[in-house]
Amino acid sequence: MKDILNLTKDSLATLLICSNLAIDYKKETIKPYTVRQWNILVDKLMNSSMRRPSSFFETTEQDWARELYLNNEEIDRLNSLLSRAGQLGIELENLRNLGIQITTRAEKNYPKRLKSILKKDSPPIVFYCGDLRMLENKGIAMVGSRNIDQVGLDFTKTIAKKCVLEGFNIISGGAQGVDSAAEETALKLQGKVVSFIATSMVQKIKVKEVRKAIINGNLLLMSATNPKSGFRVYTAMGRNKYIYSLSNSAIVVSSDYNKGGTWAGAIENLKNNWVPMFVRRDDKIPEGNKELLNKGVHPIEVGLFTDKGVSISEYINSKINSSHNNEIMIQMDIESFINNKAKHQNYIIAKEDESSIEIKEDKKEDDVSNMNDAQVDIYNIVWPYIEKELIHPKNSEELSEIFKLKKSQVDEWLKRAVEEKKIKRLTRPVRYIISK
């Protein structure tokens, strides 16, 4: 089987345990392992003498029980899944004949960004149709809701065109609305598109235009589920993180507020900080866009990226560098303050005579006083940077994430700024904004 499909035995074990390719649900109820269950099993393997998934083919059930501390129910489940190698070979051959290939975490060609960014949340198995080497190029994820107005649609097409002209892959999910508009625009211009789909890959590649784009090397289809499976909401929600992690930055064109896959994916990226994210801003953006802006997501303006306008890469880099420079400047200012304070204290100690022994005995009380002084001074150093972020409302969690500070410290400074009437405290939900 390895000679035919060029897969390692580790991959074959992964496929048998984690995919439903060889399972006939008309006759059986057994379920493959989820990503979480697979991670737990892999951890047990790594901490045993078995070490690798391929060892299942060379050991007995007694070995599994002893080495992996599995109960009888789990052993029966594994034994049943692993017994389907013959049927799996047939299914894999059928997929190969359709042009659909497979990689797993055990393979060298597994997408590096998925593994490096998502780590254990990366899919154990990836099905693909097209050239995986396309992922070596930089990409920009374009995401958005299915229902999009004309302004948003025009914006999507403009950004997609600029990405193609500047050599970026468009990375999306193939859904109606923003996804399909971005992908179609890029392909018409002979650009590169990576589409991580949540629908049947088998059905997708039957479309003439899709097959042509794949053959021409302009389209790479990817999926983490059985290529014959249809659309599932949980599949669509789960693949959001794959779209983000395959990109170098992401643009949210249009999002509902607190519902839908676009919102869920954006919040997930914001929480995990996978890639820099930008959101469309204009006079008529949906509520989700407004809330993402309030959470500190970088704005990206309509009308900014005309054919002769601003470069996408330059704009993105300028925003990323601006945020990074804020962090660096704060750190430099704080370090400068600490170093100057240390020099001042060393100078005083150097001037002391033998009576300095008495001062050292009272050091605890002096340290408390010095700490209080430091807090006041550091607040004055950091506040101008925080104040710039509060042009739009933000909460303390968002500020602590932006500046890599402890939330308790940010809460203390925000409370003081409210008392000093530098900012206003908003409610429902609690946020802060500069006083005008």
What per-residue confidence (pLDDT) applies to 279?
Answer: 95
Give the mean pLDDT of 20-25.
89
What per-residue confidence (pLDDT) applies to 37?
Answer: 96
Give the mean pLDDT of 371-388.
66
250 has a pLDDT exceeding 80:
yes
Dihedral over alpha carbons 333, 334, 338, 339 (to 10 degrees): -40
Q: In the 3-class helix/strand/coil scheme, how is the chain assigned residue by residue? A: CHHHHCCCHHHHHHHHHHCCCCCCCCCCCCCCCCHHHHHHHHHHHHCCCCCCHHHHHCCCHHHHHHHHCCCHHHHHHHHHHHCCHHHHHHHHHHHHHHCCEEEECCCCCCCHHHHHHHHHHCCCEEEEECCHHHHHCCEEEEEECCCCCHHHHHHHHHHHHHHHHCCCEEEECCCCCHHHHHHHHHHHCCCCEEEECCCCHHHHCCCHHHHHHHHCCCEEEEECCCCCCCCCHHHHHHCHHHHHHCCCEEEEEECCCCCHHHHHHHHHHHHHCCCCEEEEECCCCCHHHHHHHHCCCEEEECCCCCCCCCCHHHHHHHHHHHHHHHHHHHHHHHHHHHHHHHHHHHHHHHHCCCCHHHHHHCHHHHHHHHHHHHHHHHHHHHHHHHHHHCCCCECHHHHHHHHCCCHHHHHHHHHHHHHCCCEEEECCCCEEEECC
Give the mean pLDDT of 257-284.
92
Instruction: Give the pTM.
Output: 0.75
Q: Provide φ and ψ at 103, rounded to 5°.
A: -135, 160
Q: Provide φ and ψ at 127, rounded to 5°.
A: -95, 140
Give the mean pLDDT of 417-427.
90
Taking the C-alpha atoms of residue 393 and residue 402, their distance in angstroms, rounded to an integer, is 14
- Pick the residue with more confidence: 41 or 318? 41
Give the mean pLDDT of 327-351.
51
What per-residue confidence (pLDDT) applies to 302?
Answer: 74
168 has a pLDDT exceeding 70:
yes
Band the pLDDT of 136: cuts 50, 70, 90: very high
Give the mean pLDDT of 103-128.
95
Give the mean pLDDT of 105-130.
95
Q: Are 300 and 281 in contact (CB under 8 A)?
A: yes
What per-residue confidence (pLDDT) applies to 232?
Answer: 75
- Pick the residue with more confidence: 210 or 2? 210
What per-residue confidence (pLDDT) applies to 387?
Answer: 83
Band the pLDDT of 231: cuts 50, 70, 90: confident
131 has a pLDDT exceeding 70:
yes
Give the mean pLDDT of 216-244.
89
What per-residue confidence (pLDDT) applies to 376?
Answer: 44
Amino acid at 416: R
328 has a pLDDT exceeding 60:
no
Give the mean pLDDT of 148-166.
92
Burial class (CB in 10 A: 0-12, 13-18, 19+), 86: exposed
